[in-house]
Every structure is written in structure tokens, then in C-alpha cells.
Structure 1
């Protein structure tokens, strides 16, 4: 505490000397003080354990059970095979499930029937029942759309084909 008080006294003494010397003029004194301070910021260097700015992968179910899906819609993005593709559902290389046809989505738990090259094949063959969740799509019935052909063109076609 002694240092700031002595600094303030030194400045006030300078102002008093200045005011005595230049008493007739309206001039403010210019006081130059040298103050040494420590660093305000850390010197540049490597930073570690910083939070990454990588965006999330948004792996989650995108459609719900009973919802209508269109061909090509992403149904579920997943890490590994938590849900398996069923009827009218395709799978990509990153295990994303997508719709192969338009229809209503149904999630079911079914008994797994693995291919012979699967590591689970021998266990299932020995009698182990494995149940997995499957995504299935029940396609909507296709409504026939017909164009009416005029009777005159039909009659002409029949007459030319008959002769």
C-alpha cells in the first residue's frame, strides 16, 4: 500500500511545482509515469483438450411405427445393426435403413434366421432362439389408373385387325 501512496504524492508535488511556475497560463501539466505490469495474456502455445467442433451424426429413428413413408426415405440411421431390414426395406453400407417402396412402416420383433456364413448360424442351428427388431413396410395398394379410349379408335383397330 505504501507504493501507491508515494506515487500519488509524487504526482501531486509535480502538479504543485508546475502550477507555481506557470501560474499565469491555463495549461494542464503532462505527467509521464512509467508503470511496469505483468502479462495480461498467456504466451502463444499449443492448446490441448479443447472441445471439438465436429457436428453430430444424428443417428436416430427418423420415422415412427405406423407412419407413411415414401420410396427412398431414410427410416433409421444407426451405429451397427440395432434394427434389421425387413420387407421392402434396404440397408446402406453405414447401416442406414431406407424405404424401397411407398407404404406404412411397421416395427416388429422377429426370430432371426441368419445366413450360413453368419457367426450366429451355428447357434441358431443348435436351437438358440434370437429375436431382433425389424423394420417392415407394407406397400399401399396401387389404384389402377386407366385412360379411356374412344370407341371410334377401338372400332377402327378391330376393323383393320380383322381384315
Structure 2
């Protein structure tokens, strides 16, 4: 006699079109504006090209991010640039502009003024 046996099986799934990834937005640009109080290490700007330059008490990361080196008040100025032509970012974004004047925005941090009250050691 022949016995009929059914095995567990699964239907083949239809192919689905994978959604096209448009990329996750990075929300680049300024994070702190003129007049804001920032702590040391605060991100000021994220950028892909050199829209903003680091000024007084501001550092620049490898990816172009500007950050505060000291706590203080943010000051944004527009200044004539005197770039360091040895820097790779300068070479990449300003090639061919070696002998031209141009102005760029600079991020500066003005630290909190230190106190001026001192006591002479001889008076103690």
C-alpha cells in the first residue's frame, strides 16, 4: 500500500523592491549663533565645505566641524582671509585663488573676563 506523507513546506516569497535610500540628512550648518554662551567642546558649525573658518579660541576637526576650545560667548565676524596654503582643506577649496582677496565668516569665542581683584602677598 502507498502512504501519502506531507512535509512542512513554505511557498516561495515574491521579490520585493527595496526602497531607494535617499540618505540620512546630516543637518549641517551653524549650531550656535552670535551672542550665545557655550561651554568648552561645544559644536559651533558642521560643514562639508569651508563656509566658516575657525577664529579666536575655536578649533577645527578633521571633518570640518568647528568647536569651542574655551567657555565663552560666540562672536561671528566677516574678515579678510589670510589662509594657510599648506592646509589640505585650503588647497582643496581655494585652489586657484592664491593671489585674490576674499572675505569669509569666522567663528570666535570671547572668554569670560577674569577678575581684577588681587591682593599683594606682603599685605597678607
Give the TM-score normalised by the residue count of structure 1: 0.53
Q: Which has the higher strand share?
A: 2
Where does residue 44 of structure 1 map in the other structure? Answer: 14
Closer, same or farther: CA 46–122 of 1 in aligned 2, 3 Å? closer
Structure 2: unaligned runs, 5 residues or longer: 1-12, 119-123
Deviation per residue, 1:42-79 (Å, 9 max, x gap)? x611414x143854322121111111111111111112
Larger Rg: 1
Aligned pairs for 1:1-163 (under 5 A) are 44-48=14-18, 50-52=19-21, 55-117=24-86, 118-119=90-91, 120=94, 123-124=97-98, 126=99, 128-143=100-115
Q: Distance in 1 between matches of 2:85 and 2:62?
A: 21
Q: Which has the higher helix share?
A: 1
Equivalent pairs counted in the alignment come to 102
CA RMSD of aligned residues (A): 2.7
Distance (Å, rounded) in 2 between the aligned partners of 1:63 and 1:88: 15
> What is the TM-score with the length of structure 2 in the denominator?
0.68
The structure with higher relative contact order (CA 8 Å, sep 6+) is: 2
Cα distance change on mapping 1:58 and 1:123 into 2, 3 Å: closer
